[in-house]
Amino acid sequence: MNMSLLRVIRRLQSSFVAPQRPTLISTDAEKPNVEGREDANLFSFEYIPPQVQPEWHRNKLKYRLERMDCLRRRQAIDIPEFYPGSILAVTVADNYAPGKSMRFAGRCLYKDGFGLGCKFVLRNVIDNEGVEKMYHLFAPYIQKVELLRLEKWIDTDLRFLRDAADQSICEIDPNMQAESPLPKTEELPVYKGKIRLREIAMWEFLYHKQWPRPYNAYLEEHFIEEELIEREKIHWQTQSHLKYDICKHYDVTKIKAEIMDEMKDNRHRVDVADKKITADA
């Protein structure tokens, strides 16, 4: 072989450095929660202010004060994260009950409201009798909120369960043991089952006229397919243009980021206000 060639080869061999293998660092492990299941002290759905038109009807100081009060209540009591469809048990202080407190377990039908006025409704079937009870989330007469089963349904308004054929959905054993919920690093699977409704000649609540139609209710049995199609057509003709109305669009992503920044600040302020720490700290 040619000597110059050999020298070139040797130079290349000596100067050649094998590239380092790229190390794959997964960032998911650093995040303590999945988007949508944040820490309640930082963000919760009841912290989003309602959409208000015109814009000068909104007062940001009032929203801030209300969120500070919600944070105070969350520090006093542990309110778990739940969605409509999950099973809860609530102990409430009652002056006229034996033991001065009452425990009621049930399935959450809906959760609605902003800030301190956030209400949720639990339904249970006791001795073939349906019972519903409404509670304020942040009321001080609630002593304990236990999460028995965490479920998330596609519909947020489950009032059609009142007309369900199989009432065992809402029949909840008061001595039911709590099932440990999924950790917050994993996404909750959404319940997509359809529930049959009981046979009735005249519906009090017009399910087929309601739009959007509930996903978790099996309406095809009771209403003719043509009727449902006609209702969808009427909605398309009369009200489908509303989704293109820009004024009614409520983009929550920016508000969510602002709220999360604000709540970190609020924690400090609440502690100062309640004299747990001095203002200098």
> Residues in the site for other proteins, rule: CB under 8 A?
56-59, 61-62, 65-66, 69, 72-73, 75-77, 93-95, 100-101, 115-117, 136, 138-143, 270, 272-275
| Other beta carbons less than 10 A from residue 88's beta carbon | 21
Q: Is 244 left (phi over 0), alpha (psi -120 to 50) or beta?
A: alpha
Question: Closest Cα partner for 137 from 182, 94, 90, 87?
Answer: 90
Cβ 95 to other proteins, closest distance in Å?
5
- Comparing CB distances to other proteins, the nearer of 228 and 270 is 270
- Comparing CB distances to other proteins, the nearer of 71 and 158 is 71
Residue 19 Cα to chain centre, angstroms: 47
Strands 101-112 and 87-93: antiparallel
Q: Is the torsion defined by CA of 263, 269, 273, 277 positive or negative?
A: positive
Cβ 89 to other proteins, closest distance in Å?
15
- Comparing CB distances to other proteins, the nearer of 117 and 183 is 117
- Comparing CB distances to other proteins, the nearer of 77 and 257 is 77
Cβ 281 to other proteins, closest distance in Å?
15
Cβ 91 to other proteins, closest distance in Å?
9
- Comparing CB distances to other proteins, the nearer of 98 and 212 is 98
Cβ 121 to other proteins, closest distance in Å?
17
Q: Is the torsion defined by CA of 131, 132, 138, 140 positive or negative?
A: negative
